[in-house]
Structure 1
Amino acid sequence: MLRSMYSGISGMKNFQTKLDVIGNNIANVNTFGFKKGRVTFKDTMNQMVAGASAASENRGGKNPMQVGLGSTLATIDTIHTGASLQTTGRALDLGIDGDGYFVVKQGNAEFYSRAGNFYLDDDGNLVNGDGLKVQAYKVDSKTNLPTNQYGDVAVNVNAVLPATATGDISITENLSANATDGSIFTQQIKIVDDAGKEHKIDVHFEKSTTADTWNVYINADPAANPKPTADTTIAFDPATGIPTTTPTSFAFTPIATGTAAPAAPLIPGWTGATALNLNFKDLTQVDGATTAIVSPDGNTEGSLESFNIGSMGEINGVYSNGQVNTLGVLALAKFSNSSGLQKAGNNLFQASINSGTPNVGIPGSGRGTIAPGSLEMSNVDLSEEFTEMIVTQRGFQANTRIITTSDEILQELVNLKR
Structure 2
Amino acid sequence: MPQLAVNGGTPVWSQRWPAWPIFEKHEIEYLHEVLESGCWAFDGPYEAQFQRAFADFHTARHGLAVANGTVALQLALEALDIGYGDEVIVPANTWQATAAAALDVNAVPILVDIEPDTYCIDADKVAEAITPRTRAIIPVHLYANLADMDRLLSLARQHNLHVIEDCAHSQGSRWRDRGVGSLGDIGCFSFQSSKSLNAGEGGFVMSNDDRLFERLYSLRNCGRRRPDADPNTWEHIQSGNYRMTEWQSAILLAQLDRLPTQVARREASLRFLDGQLAQIEGVAPLARRAQVTRQGMYAYVFRYNPDAFAGAPVQAFRQALSAELGTHVGGVYEPLTNSPLYQPHTKRRYRINEEHWRAIDPARFYTPVAERAFRSESVVFSHPHLLGGQEAMQSIVDGCA
Using the size of structure 1 for normalisation, the TM-score is 0.17
Structure with greater Cα Rg: 1
Q: Which has the higher strand share?
A: 1
Q: Which has the higher helix share?
A: 2
